[in-house]
Structure 1
Amino acid sequence: MERILVSACLMGYAVRYNASDKALISETLVRWRAEQRLIIHCPELAAGLNTPRLPAEIRGGSAAHVLSGAARIIESDGHDVTQHYILAAWLALRTAQEANCRFALLTDGSPTCGSRRIYDGSFSGQQLAGQGVAAALLRQYGIEVFAESQLAELIHRVDDADKCRVVDAG
């Protein structure tokens, strides 16, 4: 049975920067949770960041640039929090690996969890194609990452993977 790392805010936990959740309502997620497939994790809280906290955005490059030290993650007041977010990414990876997750369902837009889009670093509400540092690191280590808008695709991939495991076991 496939395991999925999932952003805690998508499961209804009020852990986002503004102390809100982004609950994703789905019969499949309810079933997966009952089957103990979901590994619920908030990378930012794991790295010691508080809730609420100031908004943070990647500035000066991509998530890969942040991970290599060439770009930064900055809070809205100008404070550099890059190291906290890099730690958050590595803790998400460790959590996924320890639980044998092949998949992750992460909150899009976040400088940590964004998998398809992130904010542009100007704190103006503008978004661009890109990914957060945890999504980038998980992908680098072979974990398939999906945004909440891609839940149907994730369900399909997990169903296919489950079928392959049954065939392999048989």
Structure 2
Amino acid sequence: MHRVLVSACLLGERVRHNGEHKQSHDSVLHRWLREGRVVPFCPEVAGGLPVPRPAAEIAEAAGGLSVLLGTGRVLDLNARDVSAFFVAGAQQALECARLESIRVAILKEGSPSCGTTFVYDGTFTSRQVPGQGVTAALLRQTGIQVLNEFQFEEADRLLTQLPQERRS
């Protein structure tokens, strides 16, 4: 049975910057939970950021890949560079995915870590720009299929297309 990495906030864990969650009530997610497929993960907390914490965005709408390459930065609302926490969290997410043989991840859309199709532009004005978060970019670079909380059905189809895991 293939396991799925899922943003912890989607599972009701209060790990978001404001101490809240974004719990999903998707029926596919609930089935995966019953099946024991879900591996919860919050890269921002894993990277060392506290809860609560100031909101953060990728500066200048640069995207997660630029942060991984060292050319972009994640800044919090107080203009503090928190890039190292985001990179560390992404690396830990990748390590978790490798340990669990994860091939599919469902991440929280819009997050500077987990955004899959958009992030916020770095001005803290709620302006969305196309792009991906730091963790989403790293996982995709290694061949993991990364989707968001609006794509559970698609993720479920992907899981059925993967070769069955071999048990030794």
Q: Does 1:35 align with 2:35?
A: yes
Q: How does 1:19-168 map to 2 (within 5 A)?
A: 19-60=19-60, 61-161=62-162, 164-165=163-164
Letter in 2 for 1:35: E
Measured on the aligned residues, the alpha-carbon RMSD in Å equals: 1.6
| Contact preservation (8 Å) 2:29, 2:152 | no
Letter in 1 for 2:164: R
Which is further off, 129-138 or 28-37?
Answer: 28-37
Q: Deviations over 1:118-143 (max 9, x none)?
A: 00011000001100000000000010
Letter in 2 for 1:32: W
Give the SS at the match of 1:101.
Answer: coil
Structure 2: runs of 5 or more not aligned: none
Q: Deviations over 1:17-73 (max 9, x none)?
A: 111111111222122112221111111111111111111000132211111111100
Looking at structure 1, the residues matched to 78 and 56 of structure 2 have their Cα atoms a distance apart, in angstroms, of 9
User: What TM-score do you get using the length of structure 2 for normalisation?
Assistant: 0.94
Looking at structure 2, the residues matched to 15 and 87 of structure 1 have their Cα atoms a distance apart, in angstroms, of 16
Q: Find the counterpart in structure 2 of residue 8 from structure 1.
A: 8
User: What TM-score do you get using the length of structure 1 for normalisation?
Assistant: 0.93
Looking at structure 2, the residues matched to 129 and 149 of structure 1 have their Cα atoms a distance apart, in angstroms, of 16
Letter in 2 for 1:68: L
Which is further off, 27-36 or 147-156?
Answer: 27-36
| Contact preservation (8 Å) 2:107, 2:115 | yes
TM-aligned CA deviation for residue 156 of structure 1: 1.5
Structure 1: runs of 5 or more not aligned: none
Looking at structure 1, the residues matched to 63 and 29 of structure 2 have their Cα atoms a distance apart, in angstroms, of 30
| Larger helix share, 1 or 2 | 1
| Contact preservation (8 Å) 2:57, 2:124 | yes
TM-aligned CA deviation for residue 5 of structure 1: 0.4
Looking at structure 2, the residues matched to 71 and 129 of structure 1 have their Cα atoms a distance apart, in angstroms, of 15
Letter in 1 for 2:36: Q
Show structure 1 runs of 4+ deviating over 6 A.
none
